[in-house]
Structure 1
Amino acid sequence: MPVLPKPIPPLYTVYILRSTVRHASLYIGSTPNPPRRLKQHNGEVKGGAARTSRQTLRPWEMVGLVSGFPGMVAALKFEWALNNPHISLHIPTESRITISTQKKRNGNPRRPPHSVKSIISNVHLLLRVPSFARWPLKLHFFDSEVYQVWTKYCDTASESLRKTIPVYTDFAPGPSPADESVSTEDSSPWGIHALPLDYAPMKDYVEKTQSLYTFEREGACVICGENLAHEEGLYATCSNELCEGTGHISCWSRHLLGSNPGEDILPISGGCPKCGGEVIWGDMMKEMSLRLRGQKEIDKLLKKPRKRKAMATAVSP
């Protein structure tokens, strides 16, 4: 049975898990749904990993994660490299931070134990290596102590990250993320519970492009000026609210690469030639993949809520 192409998922992450009982116990995994995955690790629902099943280490908490992966395979590659930085081929030998000093019985290098500092330093490294440096990734920290380790490492690292990698913080509203006295029902969602798990943040963008392409209003390419024949090519549209600037994917790519001298592999961001606003290559690709491969997801996203029957009938005396 053939595998049908799917749109870029709304969220796929590689996360850092820490035991609230023993902070030295850490775990790295990947998931498109962090809240559900955390429940699995804590035994609230089925499906947790064997390494996090010890009751003496529960509950676990997600203290940070990397988001923006274009799919499961991409996230798994990053997860494996972060779990095995001593042997990962994604890390050049001369750049390797984690070195194995012991061997397994089969002679292969034994993975050194994780620490918050080692994980943070290798996250920083992986975001710089050629395999991942140009992906539209984002960093999220949900614990202030872990974030302090990150900022301290950034201050001392020999190389810096590219400026277009955003770093977000969202700490617990109480004394500690592990404090059970803080009720998520009585306060606004925070941390992993505030992450968008669907395409809702793209709704306005999708509504705009659906109108544009449905009524064949593509017009001329904003970069090369050639007329865009309806459904005869791969086109992308500016993500800025009031701009309908549309162009060939290849033209957008050359334009955005030209906005960043020295970058000639994968576009990251740049200015729209029509409105002048910033456009993110990853955002445009997510919208295009949704438009071409995710009609069901679009229908769900743009579905109008049903009016309650009570609004259509008069209240009985």
Structure 2
Amino acid sequence: MSVQPKPIPALYTVYILRSTVRHGSLYIGSTPNPPRRLSQHNGQVKGGAARTSRNSLRPWEMVALVSGFASSTAALKFEWALTNPHISMHIPSESRLAFSTQRKRNGQPKRPPKSLVSILSNLHLLLSVPSFARWPLRVHFFARDVHNAWLRWCDKAEKKLRGSLPVVTDFGENTVAVASASKPPEAFDDSEEGTDGEETSAWGIHALPLDYEPLKEYVAKGQDIFEFERQGDCVICKETIDPEEGGLHAVCSNERCEGVGHLRCWGRHLLQGEDGGGDGAVLPVGGECPKCRGHVHWGTMMKELTLRVRGTKEVEKLLKVKRKRAVRKKSDKIKVTGKDKV
């Protein structure tokens, strides 16, 4: 049986779990639904992991996570590398921070003990290695002390992360800040993406979008452009876009821009505009739309594209207009009079 291609998932994360009873007890996992997964770890819902089942360590809290994975397989690959940094092939031997000093009975290296610093340092390392550095990932922190530990490591780490890597902090104070990989959120404008200034009771993992709702307007725009054949010429190569030729076409993610281009043209244009774009990179991170001059994010564009070409059911569900049932008041009901009787 062949596997049907699917759109990039709305959310898939690799998370760091910490016991609220003993902060030294930590766990790394992956999930598309952090709130549900946390409930499983805390025994409120069936599931979870054996290592988190001890009542003496519950309740657990998710103190940080990484989002933006293109598939469950990608998230599992990252999770395994973060859990096993001492043997992961994604980390060059000269860059390795974790080492095994003992062996299992089968002769394999034994996993070294985890600490918050070791996990954060290896997270920092993985986000900078070629295997993951250009993925459209985003780091979230939900505990202030964990974020502070991250900043301290970023200051002392020899290898720096790319400046465009978003780091989101949400400490339950009705504020969400988006910063770069190593700068504190206070150094940035709170009006950046992910901040609306409105107070909300949901915070942390409970405020994460579990569906495609944040992309609704963008998806609707793409559907409208191709349904009414308004794609015009490629915004990069200026050649006419023929939807019948079967090529892949990406749409600018900015609200008032309908710039459409060949996928290969977008990729080449964005790579040329990036620092170090000629270092052999295949996938871009983001750049400037040649039509509206606004910033576009490659990962967001690819999520919309895969929804448009692979996610018919997901798009129908997202754009479905909910019909309100007409509720008649008693006073509006038609009374049956004597003349209406047969």
Query: Which one of the candidate residues 222, 228, 237 is aligned to 2:251?
Result: 237
1:2 CA displacement: 1.9
Query: Which one of the candidate residues 261, 282, 299 is aligned to 1:247?
Result: 261
Query: Which one of the candidate residues 246, 255, 265 is aligned to 2:282?
Result: 265
SS in 1 for 2:148: helix
Query: Which one of the candidate residues 214, 217, 225 is aligned to 2:238?
Result: 225
In the alignment, the residues of structure 1 paired with residue 13 and residue 330 of structure 2 have an alpha-carbon distance, to the nearest angstrom, of: 48
SS in 2 for 1:64: strand
Where does 1:135-214 land on structure 2 (aligned, <5 Å)?
135-173=135-173, 188-214=201-227
Q: Residues 119-151 of structure 1, C-alpha deviation per residue, up to 9 Å, x if partnerless?
A: 000000000001000000000000011011001
Partner of 2:298: 281
Instruction: Give TM-score, length-normalised by structure 2.
Output: 0.87
SS in 1 for 2:64: strand
1:46 CA displacement: 0.9
Q: Does 1:303 align with 2:320?
A: yes
1:173 CA displacement: 4.3
In the alignment, the residues of structure 2 paired with residue 66 and residue 271 of structure 1 have an alpha-carbon distance, to the nearest angstrom, of: 25
Q: Which blocks of at least 5 consecutive residues in structure 2 are unaligned?
A: 175-198, 333-342
SS in 2 for 1:309: coil
The percentage of aligned residue pairs carrying the same residue is 66
In the alignment, the residues of structure 1 paired with residue 7 and residue 30 of structure 2 have an alpha-carbon distance, to the nearest angstrom, of: 18
In the alignment, the residues of structure 2 paired with residue 315 and residue 160 of structure 1 have an alpha-carbon distance, to the nearest angstrom, of: 68
1:308 CA displacement: 3.4
In the alignment, the residues of structure 1 paired with residue 63 and residue 266 of structure 2 have an alpha-carbon distance, to the nearest angstrom, of: 37
1:315 CA displacement: 4.7
Partner of 1:60: 60
SS in 1 for 2:210: coil
The amino acid across from 1:24 in the alignment is G
Q: Residues 45-104 of structure 1, C-alpha deviation per residue, up to 9 Å, x if partnerless?
A: 111111111111111110000000001000000000000000000000000001111111
1:307 CA displacement: 1.4
Query: Which one of the candidate residues 276, 293, 296 is aligned to 2:310?
Result: 293
Question: Measured at CA, do residues 29 and 231 of structure 1 come closer, stay the same or move farther in structure 2, by a change above 3 Å?
Answer: farther
- CA RMSD in angstroms comes to 1.4
In the alignment, the residues of structure 1 paired with residue 55 and residue 286 of structure 2 have an alpha-carbon distance, to the nearest angstrom, of: 46
The amino acid across from 1:54 in the alignment is R
1:262 CA displacement: 2.0
Partner of 2:119: 119
In the alignment, the residues of structure 1 paired with residue 46 and residue 3 of structure 2 have an alpha-carbon distance, to the nearest angstrom, of: 27
In the alignment, the residues of structure 2 paired with residue 290 and residue 166 of structure 1 have an alpha-carbon distance, to the nearest angstrom, of: 23
1:107 CA displacement: 1.7
- Indicate the structure (1 or 2) with the bigger Cα radius of gyration: 2
Partner of 1:179: none
